[in-house]
Amino acid sequence: MGAIDGNPTHPEAYHIYVGSKAPWHEITDDFIQYDEAPPPE
């Protein structure tokens, strides 16, 4: 678990490692979802 002290400086763009998320956790936004890590930029 981590914590952020202050406001994040980068906007959300995608979800990573959704292939291992809990089955009861529902992602309801329209961000791209990667089962593992995103491809390198």
User: What DSSP assignment string belongs to 1-36?
Assistant: ----SS--SS---EE--GGGS-TTPPP-S-SEE-SS
Per-residue pLDDT tens digits for 1-40: 678 788 878 888 899 999 999 999 999 999 999 999 998 8
Predicted pLDDT of residue 15 = 95
Predicted structure pTM score: 0.67
- Tell me the domain boundaries of the chain: 14-41
pLDDT of residue 2: 77
pLDDT confidence of residue 30: 95
Tokens read off for 12: 């959300």
pLDDT value for 4: 78
